[in-house]
Structure 1
Amino acid sequence: MTNSIANRIADFLSHFPPFSLLKNTEREKIANEVRVLYFPPGKPVFLKDEKVHNHFYIVQKGAVDLQKVNQGQEPETIDKCDEGDVFGLRPLFAKENYQINAITDEESVIYAIPSEIFKPYAISNPQVGNFLMESFASNTRNPYSNEHRGKLFTEEDDISLKREALFELQPIPIIKKIITVTPETSIQQAALLMYKRKVGSVIVVENELPVGIVTDVDFREQVATGKISVQSPIQEIMRSPVICYSKGLTIAQAQLTMMKHNINHICITKDGTPNTKVKGIVSEHDIIVSQGNNPAVLMKAINRASSTNKLKKIRSKIMLLLDGYLKSNIPLGHISNIIFELNDATIKRTITRCIEKMNSPVPVEFTWMSLGSQGRKEQLLHTDQDNALVFQDVPEDQLEETRAYFLKLATKVTKRLNIIGYKFCPAEMMARNPKYCLSESEWKDQFSNWVTASGNDEILLCQIFFDFDITYGNVRLTNAISNHIFDILKGNKNFLNRLAAQALRNPSPLGFFRRFLVEQDGEKKDLFDIKKRGIMPLTDAARLLILEHRVKNISNTAERFEKLARLEPNNQELYLACAYSSKALIKFRTRQGIKNKDNGRFINLGDLGKEDKIKLKRCFKTIKEVQELIKIRYETTYYL
């Protein structure tokens, strides 16, 4: 006889991943084992520190709040599960207790999926396994949903990021504080060592090579139950062989391995086999803790932040994420994209909150422009904020009233950004300055004046506005201004020549006998300015050359040079070298900034090793070559 309830359950599951990724026959087998649970509002499905159930869950009707529980504080809702959302995945990945609360927000019907019934499908079906790992790692119930697909799991439509940047590129946290014992060591001795060192596992070694591992789970199951005496040798309860990997293991690989082998610890050895000495250990608990620095989790936290201080705390976690990426030698392009999106979301959230605090609604459409390094997607460290605002044209009698509104809004935004860590621009190139809070027509007139006047000050002012990104608002406004700029630049040789002279104002930073040119006086005397003498010459060159080709919508320096390499095949080698040098110098500055806890701009050359100095000199040789090209092309040797 047909089980109509099981059929209805199977039909429901077929609409939601990971069950939609299974065959019909597989879904039907699972549906026959599903438990249907009813919960009134406010009832827990499970609580923090509760022993994990033998099921994970999917919401059939209603809603469930997932709550973070901090010691001595009220539970904080960090996510809400609606119809079709999967939660409570810990039984598939670990035997540790739940880390959060799951409380029904309204009357709910929930399907409980037996873990042991489902687990074989997760292991044998790569798509299912990938879905579950992403859900578990990112704290996102359904990373395949339409609103989340290909995004950093945010509500903003224009923030996107490839999934591999979140998982395949994220390094595993390796714990080097390990305890090793011999197989003959008594269980009691090993337990006392673990208690003293406050660790959850001990590695059993012979001739310094790993032969087994014992965790606190083994103590609970084998010793606390009375099955094995505490005086017995540790080898009687150790798990063997040890699952080993080499350094470089990713979070996704680790979680799949733990699920496949039903373990919660992985041993890190020199060559990834038990044949070499132990270097560290990875635990499932440490992976969960590390998710606080997962970009997807950080993005969700940014979009939910209810105060400037919360955004400031998130900003410090972004810096930890940046440090981890650099130490793992992840390509700068991936790093820049991730940090840019997180910075951009922080600014967006700040603007949104400030608009809510204004006494009246926004009078007309506007756009907030991020300029300089953030506009070029090159702002990795805590550097100055450069921004501007353009608002929709209004009748003359409403202009100053409208401007006053946006100046007040910009003052609120820039003040909060300063608290978060984006320092005020010393030159006041910010949207709170009336010079940079203009209507669309005023901006067009401003650029026309800058381009036609072409004085030194005007060139310096306007060139930063060629490196902008739209952080908030209506893209039509900035597109109109961009089109206007390219119209007035067409055939304007004089302006390009003046821009070329600006690009040569900082010559290659190597003096006679290839010695670095350092600051000669002032507070930074004898320090090397990597921004002024290394990064800016490449930024200026890329901007000039890409403008000559009238290429829009590429503001990143390395991407500009890569585009130029395609546009000018005869200079391809030089431009690709420039792209590499730009990334290398920004990465070098970022590492120095993290090391010295500053913006990384000024470097003590005495602290650099020979290898670093050689790499820098190679980059500066590229700067000299591209500046020579500019001198010849624009017939100028004039240094401002």
Structure 2
Amino acid sequence: MTVTAPEMLVGASTDFLKRFSPFNRMEPDALHFLAHRAALAFHPRGSEILTPEMGQARHFFIIQRGKVQSRQTGPASVTEYSSMTMGPGECFPIGAVSASRPSTNAYVAVEDSFCFQITADDFMQLMQMSPVFHLFCTQYIASLLNQSRQQLQSTFSQRAAEQQTMTTPLAQLIKREPIFVGPDCSARMALEKMAESGIGCMVIADDAQRPLGILTQSDLLRRLLLPGVDLSLPISEVMTANPHQLPCSASAYDAALEMATHAIRHLLVVDSDGQLQGVVSERDLFSLQRISLRQIRAGIESAADIESLRRASQDIRQLALNLIAQGIGAEQLTQFISALNDALTRRIIGLALEHHELYGIDFAWVAFGSEGRHEQTLSTDQDNGIIWTCPELQDAQPLRLRLITFAREVNDNLAACGFPLCKGNIMASNPDLCLTLDEWRGRFGSWIREPDPQALLNASIFFDFRVLYGNERLGDHLRAWLNKSAKSNSAFQRMMASNALQVAPPLGRIRDFVVDDDGTVDLKKSGARLFVDVARILALRTGVESSSTVQRLRRAATKMGVPNEEVAAIIDGFHFIQLLRLRSQHLDTEHDDANDNKVNPETLNELDRRILKEAFRQARKLQLRLKLDYQL
């Protein structure tokens, strides 16, 4: 039964629509058009609203009251019931109406329900009238994520007003015209110009104003004063060549990550032609931050003891929480946390090396798991190991014992800085994880040749690795060998794929989510892991060398010919789950707390619940692709 809303009810329809995205941001004339064209239809419990057998989708539906179940049809499904329950404010079928094709899902009323509906022609006209609606339909989850970030920022509006936003373009942070000298300028004249201008660095540029090098105040003592350099020499002979630079359009966050990663204090800002526009310093980026990156990194670099590094670890968490409040995305946040934690780990290793005689031993300290993927959250334990080489004619066992003794001190000091010892003993102090390059190849090879359950579990942990300290070539050699071995073993890939499908997205048949006994969803085990496991398999299959989940998905998708918009939606889903994990982790909780990755969906606002459902739906699509590819 369908009833067209009379004029007196249009206002009520408009008020209803304004409660939900994207209609709450839709242009007034477009919203008026929608409210006038919408007809309200009743669908009794158990009735089919739309199915593939009905042919080309002729209506776009918006649920006004009740619940509608969206169920996959056809022989291919990841679980027996690949379904999702939808409630008021949610709409369907966007893809089918947009493409003028039958729906691939069946939509059934779970309970007595009312839905607004407009014709496919009105839907297309609405897309043309409203950029907001058009963006929503073409970039569904990205549009929702943007609103969620805005909502989060408004929650922290007072804090955001007090602090510099990290999304500000660098062009807006440049405070003066660029100051530079040519490469033939004498060192003395360059220093005099620095003093006159009151700046902390001097840029050296060519005639076209393209940067060639930089000399900072911290360089003066080491490069000029102590060596007694003749100040009449050209500045080009003492400058740092090929200075780090970013385009004007890059954000303050991009600059902060670059500084943290490369341990630098100044970044050159250039236009699209590579011409110098100015210099951004740490002080520019973080003078308004309550805890500054410079303070954290300076504290790490100058730390003479573990107590100083423990304080730096707490500061990293606090800065990350400040950035969450500013609406920084999950990918940037996890990279930021990883970059600073990398610096912390390297300093801990450096302090430990002062107490151990390892000179002449070629080794690499390796991170596994989330740290190996650049995906650390605020709660994580240790997963690390050592790759080393034994010189010819030397006994390996004494060298191994020295490395293990050194690793034990590093593991203990990491624990003192808030990174608990791994309950599974996945640490470099474990003799089974302090292996030569040949031994690691043998270990990986045995898992690939005989993929029993334990081997598959090991592969899911240890195949996500990267070098944090030492000889990076050891990691490169192991990665190249691993990719070659795994890519040529389809049976191993198939077993990995089967293992990755053991956990299904927690989408309910009747209720929105399948929750644990305590009413929560584990966002790590039932969320992020689903994306991570599939991305690992796709990377091994296509020979992608990155250990990052997002990079694996992007690069593998390119090689496999997956449409950009499809992989973008999958990545957006992964990012939102990561962001929810970060938001549920607090400063006063211990690292790796049992509840750190759990969220009660009932406590989420309606927008975030909606995005979480869509994120799990993207995980299900990713698993379905894996199932079809390996015929599981």
Aligned 1:289-304 pairs, distance under 5 A:
290=288, 293-304=291-302
Take 1:534 and 1:634, find their aligned partners in 2: how far apart are those partners? Answer: 22
Aligned 1:122-133 pairs, distance under 5 A:
none
| RMSD after superposition | 4.2
- Which residue matches 1:620? 616
What SS does structure 1 have at the residue aligned with 2:435?
strand
Code of the residue aligned with 1:333 in structure 2: it is E
Q: Do the aligned residues in 1 keep the contact of 2:261 with 2:339 (CA within 8 Å)?
A: no
Distance 1:394-1:57 versus aligned 2 partners, 3 A rule: closer
Aligned 1:301-380 pairs, distance under 5 A:
301-358=299-356, 360-380=357-377
Code of the residue aligned with 1:529 in structure 2: it is D
The CA deviation string for residues 341-381 of structure 1, in whole angstroms up to 9 with x for no partner, is 111111111111101111x2335100111111111111031
Code of the residue aligned with 1:335 in structure 2: it is L
Aligned 1:237-252 pairs, distance under 5 A:
none
Take 1:253 and 1:474, find their aligned partners in 2: how far apart are those partners? Answer: 31
- Per-residue deviation, 1:581: 1.3
- Which residue matches 2:559? 567
- Which residue matches 2:114? none
Point out which structure has higher relative CO (alpha carbons under 8 A, 6+ apart).
2
Take 2:200 and 2:610, find their aligned partners in 1: how far apart are those partners? Answer: 57
Distance 1:31-1:429 versus aligned 2 partners, 3 A rule: closer
Q: Do the aligned residues in 2 keep the contact of 1:152 with 1:299 (CA within 8 Å)?
A: no
Take 1:330 and 1:605, find their aligned partners in 2: how far apart are those partners? Answer: 22
- Which residue matches 1:20? 181
Code of the residue aligned with 1:581 in structure 2: it is G
Code of the residue aligned with 2:552 in structure 1: it is R
Take 1:568 and 1:149, find their aligned partners in 2: how far apart are those partners? Answer: 34
What SS does structure 2 have at the residue aligned with 1:357?
coil
- Per-residue deviation, 1:163: 4.4
Q: Is structure 2 residue 631 aligned with structure 1 residue 635?
A: yes
Take 2:282 and 2:200, find their aligned partners in 1: how far apart are those partners? Answer: 25
Q: Do the aligned residues in 2 keep the contact of 1:574 with 1:622 (CA within 8 Å)?
A: no
Distance 1:253-1:610 versus aligned 2 partners, 3 A rule: farther
- Which residue matches 2:526? 533
Code of the residue aligned with 2:478 in structure 1: it is I
The CA deviation string for residues 456-505 of structure 1, in whole angstroms up to 9 with x for no partner, is 10011022222111100112212222222123224211100011012112
Take 2:316 and 2:332, find their aligned partners in 1: how far apart are those partners? Answer: 14
Distance 1:366-1:108 versus aligned 2 partners, 3 A rule: closer
- Per-residue deviation, 1:297: 4.0
What SS does structure 2 have at the residue aligned with 1:427?
coil
Q: Is structure 2 residue 602 aligned with structure 1 residue 610?
A: no
- Which residue matches 2:400? 403
Q: Do the aligned residues in 1 keep the contact of 2:259 with 2:265 (CA within 8 Å)?
A: no
Match among 468, 472, 477 for residue 465 of structure 2: 468
Distance 1:351-1:154 versus aligned 2 partners, 3 A rule: farther
Q: Do the aligned residues in 2 keep the contact of 1:312 with 1:419 (CA within 8 Å)?
A: yes
Distance 1:422-1:558 versus aligned 2 partners, 3 A rule: same
Distance 1:159-1:106 versus aligned 2 partners, 3 A rule: closer
Take 1:353 and 1:155, find their aligned partners in 2: how far apart are those partners? Answer: 22
Match among 556, 570, 578 for residue 578 of structure 1: 570
Distance 1:147-1:350 versus aligned 2 partners, 3 A rule: farther
What SS does structure 1 have at the residue aligned with 2:375?
coil
What SS does structure 1 have at the residue aligned with 2:354?
helix
- Which residue matches 2:220? 82
Q: Do the aligned residues in 1 keep the contact of 2:265 with 2:282 (CA within 8 Å)?
A: no
Q: Do the aligned residues in 1 keep the contact of 2:535 with 2:552 (CA within 8 Å)?
A: yes
Match among 149, 174, 180 for residue 244 of structure 2: 149
Q: Is structure 2 residue 443 aligned with structure 1 residue 446?
A: yes
Q: Do the aligned residues in 2 keep the contact of 1:558 with 1:578 (CA within 8 Å)?
A: no
Q: Do the aligned residues in 2 keep the contact of 1:355 with 1:362 (CA within 8 Å)?
A: no
Distance 1:508-1:457 versus aligned 2 partners, 3 A rule: same
Distance 1:310-1:624 versus aligned 2 partners, 3 A rule: same
Aligned 1:98-109 pairs, distance under 5 A:
none
Q: Do the aligned residues in 2 keep the contact of 1:295 with 1:338 (CA within 8 Å)?
A: no
The CA deviation string for residues 405-451 of structure 1, in whole angstroms up to 9 with x for no partner, is 11111100010001111111111111111111111111111111111
- Per-residue deviation, 1:331: 3.0
Code of the residue aligned with 1:434 in structure 2: it is P
- Which residue matches 1:433? 430
What SS does structure 1 have at the residue aligned with 2:607?
helix
The CA deviation string for residues 299-319 of structure 1, in whole angstroms up to 9 with x for no partner, is 232122111111111111111
Distance 1:31-1:579 versus aligned 2 partners, 3 A rule: closer
What SS does structure 2 have at the residue aligned with 1:469?
strand
Name the count of aligned residue pairs: 410
Match among 589, 592, 617 for residue 597 of structure 1: 589
Distance 1:33-1:428 versus aligned 2 partners, 3 A rule: closer
Take 2:266 and 2:581, find their aligned partners in 1: how far apart are those partners? Answer: 26
Aligned 1:387-426 pairs, distance under 5 A:
387-394=384-391, 398-426=395-423
Distance 1:473-1:84 versus aligned 2 partners, 3 A rule: closer
Q: Do the aligned residues in 1 keep the contact of 2:365 with 2:467 (CA within 8 Å)?
A: yes
Take 1:437 and 1:23, find their aligned partners in 2: how far apart are those partners? Answer: 51
The CA deviation string for residues 29-63 of structure 1, in whole angstroms up to 9 with x for no partner, is x979989xxxxxxxxxxxxxxxxxxx958899xxx
Take 2:403 and 2:291, find their aligned partners in 1: how far apart are those partners? Answer: 34
- Per-residue deviation, 1:291: 5.8
Distance 1:149-1:605 versus aligned 2 partners, 3 A rule: same
Gaps of 5+ in 2: 1-177, 203-216, 232-238, 246-254, 270-278
- Per-residue deviation, 1:518: 2.3
- Which residue matches 1:484? 481
Distance 1:617-1:596 versus aligned 2 partners, 3 A rule: farther
The CA deviation string for residues 511-549 of structure 1, in whole angstroms up to 9 with x for no partner, is 2224322223xxxx3322110000000000111111110
The CA deviation string for residues 142-173 of structure 1, in whole angstroms up to 9 with x for no partner, is xx9549735979999966899499xxxxxxxx
- Per-residue deviation, 1:399: 1.5
Distance 1:491-1:515 versus aligned 2 partners, 3 A rule: same
- Which residue matches 1:118? none
Q: Do the aligned residues in 2 keep the contact of 1:59 with 1:85 (CA within 8 Å)?
A: no
Aligned 1:211-290 pairs, distance under 5 A:
288=287, 290=288
- Per-residue deviation, 1:575: 2.0
- Which residue matches 2:544? 551
Distance 1:18-1:153 versus aligned 2 partners, 3 A rule: farther
Take 2:282 and 2:363, find their aligned partners in 1: how far apart are those partners? Answer: 46
- Per-residue deviation, 1:571: 4.5
Gaps of 5+ in 1: 1-16, 36-54, 61-78, 87-103, 111-143, 166-250, 257-285
Distance 1:156-1:476 versus aligned 2 partners, 3 A rule: farther
Aligned 1:112-131 pairs, distance under 5 A:
none
Distance 1:148-1:325 versus aligned 2 partners, 3 A rule: farther
State the TM-score, normalized to the length of structure 1: 0.57
Distance 1:611-1:595 versus aligned 2 partners, 3 A rule: farther
State the TM-score, normalized to the length of structure 2: 0.57
Distance 1:622-1:105 versus aligned 2 partners, 3 A rule: same
- Per-residue deviation, 1:389: 0.6
What SS does structure 2 have at the residue aligned with 1:389?
strand
Distance 1:447-1:59 versus aligned 2 partners, 3 A rule: closer
What SS does structure 1 have at the residue aligned with 2:458?
helix
